[in-house]
Structure 1
Amino acid sequence: MVNSSHEAMHRIFQEYPGLFVGVSKVLGLPFIAPRAVTVLPTDLTEYRPVERRVDTLMRFDSGEDESFLLAVEAQSGKDKDKPASWAYYLSLHRA
């Protein structure tokens, strides 16, 4: 649920994006200082249908309450857009 402290945390970084560099140093995380930062719209709703299909999708269940999905794609050649498709498939099925 959105509340004032939740909004404040986001607004601070939106207004002062350079804080990411300082915070990352304190946490010992690598973060390259950007040349420019643009705050983008946060609505990730798809407003038009997007067809996404894998060639085969199977769910494997074990008797141990564990399961996993296996997505299979047959490629006849290199596809420079395929890494983005795989990221979409993974995030969609994880959600």
Structure 2
Amino acid sequence: MSSLTGKNKAALLSLVAIGVAITFYAVPIAVFAQDGSSGQTWHDKHFEGHHYDKDSRSYKDNSGREYKCETKHGDFYYYFYNSEFYRCDDYNPANSTPSAPY
């Protein structure tokens, strides 16, 4: 049996990290994409404990975790938190840079 070298271990760990990152960000989007709004909860305002950060165009909780305004539903953008969608009520795409929204 051969053992993994340092380079191989680093490459394997990188692949695992990429897989975890893709799963973390893709699962909420994939759930939404399956059937639009079927079975989803949509709130008309942001979660009470979250604060809008205009530089990142996202909401943040008290620990600094970021929730991107990346899901469009009707005329508004929402972010995914705790298995539900919350409206980005402070987010105005007309005031964003040309590359926004996501």
TM-score interval for Structure 1 and Structure 2 normalised by the shorter chain: under 0.3
Instruction: Using CA pairs under 8 Å that are at least 6 residues apart, name the structure with larger relative contact order, 1 or 2.
Output: 2
Of Structure 1 and Structure 2, the greater strand share is in 2
Structure showing greater radius of gyration is 1
